[in-house]
Structure 1
């Protein structure tokens, strides 16, 4: 009998490595739905059933790790976030990135707030995310190649620093190359500058999925000036 379970992170950075049946290792984000099909030879086999990563492929974990990192508890419904511009761009001297002109905003979610920057590169190529209603998509892949360990090392208890949430402009299920992520530099993303608030942002987003989206949409981001 097939059993529906949901992944949990094995690494503080937010990912769980699983082995595809062709031998390839891939990383799944938390709350990815998997359908367990069998257990044999000390391994638990399952089909990746939603999200953007490896959907429809068979993968496995050691049965010991399956017991640790697969859970019957699935995500809650759609997340709701509001980003409100905080006036005109203003300069800061980031301890990580140096002097930057930041478009500040306040991100409100789950009864909490976090200071974010919507843009800090002003060469005409990048622009702050426009006002409107946008889709927050589930994570697409590990962004470990973009150095975020410095933020994690400077912030006790930070998790999910390599997990970025794509933004679909105007509600589309299309990655606009803008993300909700942690950091001090924004190329038009919603970058959580207040590092100590990132874990709360991450935990809220990763534990939600919009019903009927096959795990591809986390929720909605409303942006206001």
Structure 2
């Protein structure tokens, strides 16, 4: 059995000298063609899932499994969990997310009809999502029954992924673009200006929007995902990834 160092101060001699052990920190990284979630086994609960770039600290390797503590994000924070040693070597790396403050910009466009092959005529509120100069077509609303509305103009925050959204089927997009679309189950919650927490609006892949920032240009979803997942806003314990500036 091999043990990993934990972050602590310990007395090293009778004179009361201390030293600080080095934390062995890792970050989740996944394969290219994946749904975007890593299944882990907490020691005290059922299986759970964590997203890419979740921070963990190593605890020990024992009985063919590697144990670690989940240190940030929204899922399983504070829990000790494990992976097989082989999966730990593959999916836990030393590469951290970027800790710079990044701003994603959304600019309203026209509102006009699109004929969906699945849903028929849809009145879409189009917009352009801009990531480091790359313009990507999104829709901000597809349902005008009064239950939903496009995201308001303002300065919002994009949160780290909360949980798998496999229940809202987007597998078809991966089937349409085999080997080219990943992390379709990863949705990024939006914290609206003046509020706290998940507004139930998200940045996600798809052709329909219920007030979300829905990446309609499917072939560019990976650009959006890769950018957002690889960033964390400083001093937010891994809970926020970027700022969101929406203008009309």
TM-score, length of structure 1 as denominator length: 0.96
Aligned residues between the structures: 224
Equivalent-residue separation in structure 1 for 2:217 and 2:194 (angstroms): 26
| Match of residue 52 from structure 1 | 74
Q: Which of 217, 221, 224 in structure 2 is aligned with 1:201?
A: 224
Cα deviation for residue 151 of structure 1 reads 1.3
3-state SS of paired residue (2:103): strand
| Match of residue 192 from structure 2 | 169
Cα deviation for residue 172 of structure 1 reads 4.5
Deviation per CA, 1:165-205, whole angstroms, max 9, x where unpaired? 00000165400000000001100000000000101100000
Conserved 8 A contact 1:14-1:30: yes
Equivalent-residue separation in structure 1 for 2:190 and 2:34 (angstroms): 23
Conserved 8 A contact 1:118-1:188: yes
Q: Does 1:107 align with 2:129?
A: yes
Q: CA RMSD in A?
A: 1.3
Q: Does 1:190 align with 2:213?
A: yes
Unpaired stretches in structure 1, ≥5 consecutive residues: none
Equivalent-residue separation in structure 2 for 1:165 and 1:217 (angstroms): 9
| Match of residue 13 from structure 2 | none
Equivalent-residue separation in structure 2 for 1:63 and 1:129 (angstroms): 44
Higher RCO, Cα 8 Å, sep 6+: 1
Equivalent-residue separation in structure 2 for 1:79 and 1:116 (angstroms): 19
Unpaired stretches in structure 2, ≥5 consecutive residues: 7-23
TM-score, length of structure 2 as denominator length: 0.87
3-state SS of paired residue (1:170): coil
Q: Which has the larger radius of gyration?
A: 2
Runs of 4+ in 1 over 4 A off after TM superposition: none
| Match of residue 13 from structure 1 | 35
Equivalent-residue separation in structure 2 for 1:211 and 1:86 (angstroms): 31
After superposition, residues 63-74 of structure 1 pair within 5 angstroms as 63-74=85-96
Conserved 8 A contact 1:36-1:47: yes
Equivalent-residue separation in structure 1 for 2:45 and 2:147 (angstroms): 40
Equivalent-residue separation in structure 2 for 1:145 and 1:39 (angstroms): 34
Q: Which of 199, 209, 213 in structure 1 is aligned with 2:236?
A: 213
Equivalent-residue separation in structure 2 for 1:78 and 1:16 (angstroms): 26
